Amino acid sequence: MLFNSLSYAIFLPVVCVVYYLLPHRMRWAALLAFSLYFFMSWNPRLILLILFTTLVSWSGALALGHLRRRRARQAVVVAGSALCLAVLFFFKYYDFAADSLQGLFGLLGIPLAPPTLSLLLPVGISFYTFQTLSYLIDVWRGDLAPERHLGYYALYVSFFPRLVAGPIERAGNLLPQFRQPHQFSTAGCTRGLQQIGVGLFKKVVIADTLTDFVDAVYNNLPGKTGLTLILATVLFGVQIYCDFSGYSDIAVGSARILGFSLMENFDAPYLCCSVRGFWCRWHISLTSWFTDYVYIPLGGSRCSRLRHLRNLMITFLLSGLWHGANWTFVCWGCWHGLFLCFETFWGRRADALAARLGRSPGGLLFAAARWVYTVGAVMAGWIFFRANSLADAAYIFANLLRGLNPLRLVTYAAPAGMEPADLLLVAGLIALLAIWDGLSRFGGNSFSVLCRARPAVRYLFYWALGSSILLTLLLRPFGAAADFIYFQF
């Protein structure tokens, strides 16, 4: 069941009506049943995996609550984490590891052919696995008391708005909310519907519109050069942002209608002036997860410079591997890790250089230069993320600077299937996205600015949003709802 499908448009109102009609003591059971149904709509058999992970982490946390000996507690958290990660590894990384070992031994001249399983990747497995790991580790650290009610904990793991692609919630934030009695709020419902509408616009109108243009280049690279590759890469950067932030908006908005508060996962990341700043605003829940459970335990920045750089690289290599079982994702993580290391080492030197040149580090010109550098680094990194193989990524980098005449943009856009009218449409959509994200700089977030606007402006916004979504859906084949990119992770 996709967020951008007719079935979800029916499912969510039914859940809301049932939820608010039931007495508080029965609501958790109804939400759990709806969440498991939502998950099983993809593949009913895969429910066993999420139930196994849930039971392992829940029982492990209960055991931690009774144990006092340090070694016994360490053994429990290691065993519980290993079991949860074993499921993730088996379904997501086994074939990747087998193929990599075969290639490595082949280079050494040693014949090795481990069996491959070609297993179906369970939807959302990376997200709910990390959520159970954070819970188990928090209980082990003593930051959280173990949840004794299996039903509430199972709902925490499988809560349908965030189940498939996040945000990766912490138990300390979400679990207490299931015990709170929620009353229907007109303001909460309005804000939730606003966020769902914006999320649908990002996904249906922008991301899905760009998909064909990007695929036309990246799935057929021979002969593509210069501006064709740059245009496709920039469009993919916009596509994946609108696709994933659109999902997050719908997830947060759906939960808000029910009275729950999920963490925001994006905050105008393309307006940042450093790669470090980009990661503070992109997939925030994952960034904070790796910060709390990988980067800081390794030593963070409170160590020698060399160890600090090592910690950054390890964190981003693991982040890249989390995104997919392919060496392209590992290279993508390494790419961002290198830029984080560069900024850590050269950040102050860049400010000193600006001062020597008579420019203020906070000045407009210097900020513009930093923004160009940041967007360029992030967009170049998307080449690894989108490329179908390392060979394709190498081809793109090798041909990226061939054919860069901006006066022939229409000619170079043709291989992507883009006519002049398409270029104008895409430019307009990107401009609208930039304006929407830019509003967050004038009042906390864009929704707050919208709520303070005059009624006529708000209603015009609602009309334009709804009309564009409906028109886009009507122009596409009936029932052809496109998957979200992050479903594959």
> Among all residues, which ones are annotated catalytic?
323
Q: Which of 37, 126, 11, 50 is nearest to 486 (CA)?
A: 126
Cα–Cα dist 212/473, whole Å: 15
| Three-state SS letters, the chain | CCCCCHHHHHHHHHHHHHHHHCCHHHHHHHHHHHHHHHHHCCCHHHHHHHHHHHHHHHHHHHHHHHCCCHHHHHHHHHHHHHHHHHHHHHHHHHHHHHHHHHHHHHHCCCCCCCCCCCCCCCCCHHHHHHHHHHHHHHHHHCCCCCCCCHHHHHHHHHCHHHHCCCCCCCHHHHHHHHCCCCCCCHHHHHHHHHHHHHHHHHHHHHHHHHHHHHHHHHCCCCCCCHHHHHHHHHHHHHHHHHHHHHHHHHHHHHHHHCCCCCCCCCCCHHHCCCHHHHHHHCCHHHHHHHHHHHHHHHCCCCCCHHHHHHHHHHHHHHHHHHHCCCHHHHHHHHHHHHHHHHHHHHHHHHHHHHHHCCCCCCCHHHHHHHHHHHHHHHHHHHHHHHCCCHHHHHHHHHHCCCCCCHHHHHHHHHHHCCCHHHHHHHHHHHHHHHHHHHHHHHCCCHHHHHHHCCHHHHHHHHHHHHHHHHHHHHCCCCCCCCCCHHHHC
Distance of CA 265 to the CA centre of its chain: 7
Burial class (CB in 10 A: 0-12, 13-18, 19+), 107: exposed
Q: Report whether 440 contacts 254 (CB < 8 A).
A: no
Q: Report whether 147 contacts 61 (CB < 8 A).
A: yes
Degrees, nearest 5: CA angle 398-386-94: 115
